[in-house]
Amino acid sequence: MMKPRHLLDRLFILSLWIAALIVITILAAIILYLFSKGSSFISLDFILDRPQGSPLGSAGGVMPAIMGTIWLVLLALLAAGFPALFTAIYLNEYGSQRKSSRIMNILLQSMASVPSIITGLFIYALCVVRLGWGISLLAGSMALALMIFPVLVVSIREALRSVDSQTRLAAAALGVSKTYSLRRIILPQAIPGILAAFLLAMGYAAGATAPIMVTAAAIVAPAPQSLFQPVMALPYHLYILFNEHVSMQQAYATALVLLILLLSINALALYLRSWQERKQAG
């Protein structure tokens, strides 16, 4: 006969196992379900074709949406990349002990918590209306840039932080200038982590719908030709396909394309990050 206390202990551990199992099951089910529903509608034609049929999108493919998303994301990275890199370097290599850095950290955290629709709202007022860019590729990529900026800073800083601080001290002790040690010692070691940060930000931007919905997206548009025209984008296309009852099949296929795209970007980022960690440890 087991003591009740031991029985309770066993039950407690069992319930934790169940909780973990539930979490993994839910998340695995989502992915498996999408694959089972969407994979039969995906073909090379679907990826390479324009949306066709009536209502438009009920047949054909998603090529302009893929191109639109790629352009939006690349322009956003271009705009946010250097400021984020500089901010992360400043926070980690120059100002980590200062009081002002603490304020900057709080501001960054607040920035990261700004809802993406608010970023869209801000860019809508500033770029679309005040600057007169209209609903456009450029405005959308600015909204995405503002959204990914804090994410980029936080993960680039992680990458810099994981560089062994002994090398910094050694460089300083040998009288190596700050610039030289940054360029030749710290950045090279942090490169995989910084790449991972950029990839994560790319994935985050490619999946975001709310900010581009109000600043850049069109229901139908050709592949981007100008910075000042609206574009199609994969996540918004998915929303339209479902919400306007265009086609469930096309919606499942689009969702799967988006999911595969984002999961592979994220997997690559996580691999790069763990590779850097292993290299640092070994």
Partner 1 sequence: MQVLKFKSDKVDTFLGSLFLVTAWASVLLLAALLLFLLLESWPLWSRVGVLSFISGQVWLPLSAVPQIGIAPMLVSTLWVAAGALVLAAPLGLACAAFLAEFAPAPLTAVMRPVLNLLTGIPSVVYGFLGAAVLVRFFEVSFDLPSGESLFAASLVLAIMVLPFIVANSEIALRSVLNDYRHTSLALGVSRPYYVMRILIPAARKGIIASMVLAFGRAAGETMAVLMMAGNTMFMPGSWFNQGEPLPALIALELGSASPGSLHYQALFAAGLVLLVLVILVNILLSSFLLPKGNEVKPF
CB of 138 to partner 1, least distance (A): 17
**Contact of 146 with 75, CB cutoff 8 Å:** no
Q: Is 108 in the site for partner 1 (CB under 8 A)?
A: yes
Residue 217 contacts residue 230 (beta carbons within 8 Å):
yes
List 51, 65, 68, 116, residue binding partner 1 (CB under 8 A): 116
What is the nearest approach in angstroms of partner 1 to the Cβ of residue 82? 8
Residue number with CB closer to partner 1 (180 or 228): 180
Smallest gap from Cβ 115 to partner 1, in A, equals: 3
The single residue among 136, 155, 162, 276 that binds partner 1, judged by CB under 8 A, is 155
For partner 1, the binding residues in 232-271 under the rule CB under 8 A are 235-236, 238-239, 242-243, 248, 251, 255, 258-259, 262-263, 265-267, 270
| Interatomic CA distance for residues 79 and 74, integer angstroms | 9
- Orientation angle between helical segments 234-243 and 187-207, nearest 10 degrees: 20
Among 46, 71, 124, 133, binds partner 1 (CB under 8 A): 124
What residues numbered 201-230 form the site for partner 1, per CB under 8 A? Answer: 203-204, 206-210, 213-214
Angle of helix 4-38 relative to helix 248-281, nearest 10 degrees? 120
Question: Does the footprint of partner 1 cover residue 24 (CB under 8 A)?
Answer: yes
Q: Which long-range contacts (CB under 8 A, 24 or more apart) does 196-199 make?
A: 196/155, 196/159, 196/269, 196/270, 196/272, 196/273, 196/276, 197/151, 197/152, 197/155, 197/156, 197/158, 197/159, 197/269, 198/77, 198/81, 198/152, 199/265, 199/266, 199/268, 199/269, 199/272
Binding mask 163-192 for partner 1 (x = CB under 8 A): --------------xxxx-x----------
- The answer to whether the CB of 117 falls within 8 A of the CB of 144 is no
* Complex with partner 1: residue 77 or 238, whichever CB lies closer: 238
- Asked if 13 is part of the footprint of partner 1 (rule: CB under 8 A), the reply reads yes
Please state the closest distance from residue 226 (CB atom) to partner 1, in A: 21
